[in-house]
Chains A and B, each alone.
Chain A
Amino acid sequence: MKNTPQSYEAEILLNEPAGNYFRLVFQDNGALKNALPGQFINVRLSKSLNPLLRRPFSIARVLPGPKGKNRIEILYAKMREGTRLLSLKKPGEEIGVLGPLGKPFPYLDRQHPVLIVSGGIGVAPLVFLAEYLKKKKVPFRVFLGARTGKDLVDLEVFQKLKVPLYITTDDGSWGQKGFVTLSLQDYLANEKTPKGTVIYACGPRPMFKAVSKVGEKFKIPTYLSWEENMGCGLGICLTCVCPVKQGDGTLKMIRSCYEGPIFDSATVEWEKLG
């Protein structure tokens, strides 16, 4: 299955607020037809040289279109200059898309039931993952965490999948009050997980650490969809590396954009992070 990255101009079809975040949908030229959950695109915001670098975004949804020309959804938080500029783009305008990039989640088959754990805008790659797992009939559960109920972006997509859904918010405005690791821990303490179960998580760094500890405690392999500033997304600039413990005990700086962005949490050297 052809899944090599392409660089192309894509028309924006929709770009609007989704709760406290933003949702952007663009027209794919076919390059992302075989993209898999966990892969990402690197977006050039304008043809000018300022801002200079692309911005990476997880593929959040692949919305089928004719002849493999799907519409692609990305979700983003307005953080600094790049995402602020992106939020000003209007339908009909173009963005430069480079993708699909990176490696997908490692196991996407029925022998590996999945516990999806999401924190805030970390939901982006997990929407695609959930829809994909449903299609492939892989059993999975979803643990969604957000600051407030308003931050539960694409909640209705998860609800439609009719899978066990556990919701926590920091302020208790939706679901259980507390962090997402609370509901994950509760579940694991009370239920026996099927053989082969894996945790796939995405969210802020403190949540990554907390999820990793839960995974370790219950001996469930935990994979994190890593977020890091990137220079190129192509594997050539070495700015987005993650410190990873090797089998022989040495430490290796591994590219988030190329070997990543999915990392086995047991191998991440937390002390050596930026």
Chain B
Amino acid sequence: MKKKPKQASKTKTPALDTTVVIGKLRMINPVMVASGCFGYGEEISKFYPLKSLGAIMVKGTTLEPRQGNLLPRMAETPSGMLNSIGLQNVGVDAFLKDKMPFLRKAGVPVVVNINGRTIEEYAELAARLDGQPGIGALEINISCPNVKEGGIEFGSNPEVAARVVRAVRKATSHTLITKLSPNVTNVKVIARACVEVGSDALSAINTVVGMAIDAKSRKPILRQVTGGLSGPAVKPIGLRVVYQVRQEVKVPIIGMGGIVTGEDAVEYMLAGATAVAVGTANYLEPLAALKVVEGLKQYMVEQKVQKVTSLIGALLVP
């Protein structure tokens, strides 16, 4: 019997709608890659076209280039890893000159993760990135646990967090995402403080502060003693933070922390995320983020979900 592909396609279910919008950032699907877990996209572009992703959150960027911390910078832990990179990056000028042309050509929206030692540095970074084509949003990193100045200090206190966001808001018309730390007593008050002064969206979570010790040598494994825990081990914490923040504010949330599969992404969306970011999983498998996109679509087909946005906050709490 001859196959009749034309007829078969007519009986197909309507096309999946995977698009999501966060401020001015329009994405073909809700799957991004997390800052610091994907460099500037060049290496992974050898494995698949980057435009298959919703957006790329590039490596944490600072005003001047930084070389980061001394080694050891990494310790593997059960289903996770601690890192203490210390924001090694090329600096904003080299980023704009050497990295952005490639990313623009790749046709994928870029989210620039910005880090300052002072509030003025955050504002200056935002000003430098303002009006640059190809940038879909800025992610204000007030939660890096691995730098001596700035980082998590800005994200642990609602007043200080608000001052950073307000200064960045004044300096740019880009969509602003503030990256929250799980290492706080009450993440809701930080989230609210950021939104009240103009953060268009929030991302959660940055890494969980932790440490690893070698019992025999009695030494910490990381040179900096503490580091940031990521990977599947932190997914329950990430889900909890997204769920709590969703109760508090109405702006879009980008959920991240331990996402490996399409169903992990769905869980974050059910908890309240509009989009998700794949981080550590990129280290295990170069195709990881693409597999999350495929897994999410497969879930939508199987569960008869036509619009991906219908999953946002659709958690059934008994």
Asked if A44 CB lies within 8 Å of chain B CBs, one says: yes
A253 to B59, CA, bound (A): 15
What is the 8 Å Cβ interface bit string for chain B, positions 40-51, against chain A (1 contact, 0 not)? 000110110000
Which residues of the other chain, B, contact A272 by a CB distance below 8 angstroms? Answer: 70
User: Chain B CB within 10 Å — which of A52, A54, A235, A240 has the most?
Assistant: A52
Interface of chain B, main secondary structure:
loop
Which residues of the other chain, B, contact A49 by a CB distance below 8 angstroms? Answer: 79, 231-232, 260
Whether the pair B71, A235 counts as a contact (CB closer than 8 A) is no
Q: Which interface class (under 10, 10 to 19, 20 to 34, 35 or more) fits A? A: 20 to 34
- List residues of A (217-262) whose CB comes within 8 Å of B's CBs: 228-229, 231-232, 234-241, 243, 251-253, 258
Asked if B280 CB lies within 8 Å of chain A CBs, one says: yes
- List residues of A (181-213) whose CB comes within 8 Å of B's CBs: none
A252 to B66, CA, bound (A): 9
Whether the pair A235, B73 counts as a contact (CB closer than 8 A) is no
Knowing A50-B79, A229-B74, A274-B71 are in contact, say whether A239-B85 is a contact too (CB < 8 A).
Answer: yes
Whether the pair A54, B282 counts as a contact (CB closer than 8 A) is no
Knowing A51-B76, A236-B38 are in contact, say whether A252-B67 is a contact too (CB < 8 A).
Answer: yes
Q: Choose from A54, A235, A239, A274 the contact partner of B284 (Cβ within 8 Å).
A: A54
Whether the pair B39, A235 counts as a contact (CB closer than 8 A) is yes
Whether the pair A53, B283 counts as a contact (CB closer than 8 A) is yes
Which residues of the other chain, A, contact B231 by a CB distance below 8 angstroms? Answer: 49, 52
Knowing A231-B283, A235-B39, A238-B68 are in contact, say whether A52-B88 is a contact too (CB < 8 A).
Answer: no
Q: Choose from A51, A52, A235 the contact partner of B280 (Cβ within 8 Å).
A: A52
Knowing A52-B232, A252-B67 are in contact, say whether A236-B284 is a contact too (CB < 8 A).
Answer: no
Asked if A7 CB lies within 8 Å of chain B CBs, one says: yes
Knowing A49-B79, A231-B74, A231-B81 are in contact, say whether A241-B88 is a contact too (CB < 8 A).
Answer: yes
Q: Which 7 A-B pairs have the closest CB atoms?
A: A274-B71, A239-B74, A232-B283, A235-B43, A236-B39, A50-B79, A274-B72
A234 to B282, CA, bound (A): 9
Task: Write the chain B residue with the least CB distance to A228.
Answer: B71
Task: Write the chain A residue with the least CB distance to B71.
Answer: A274
Asked if A267 CB lies within 8 Å of chain B CBs, one says: no
A243 to B78, CA, bound (A): 29
Q: Choose from A7, A52, A236, A241 the contact partner of B68 (Cβ within 8 Å).
A: A241
A239 to B82, CA, bound (A): 10
Which residues of the other chain, A, contact B76 by a CB distance below 8 angstroms? Answer: 51-53
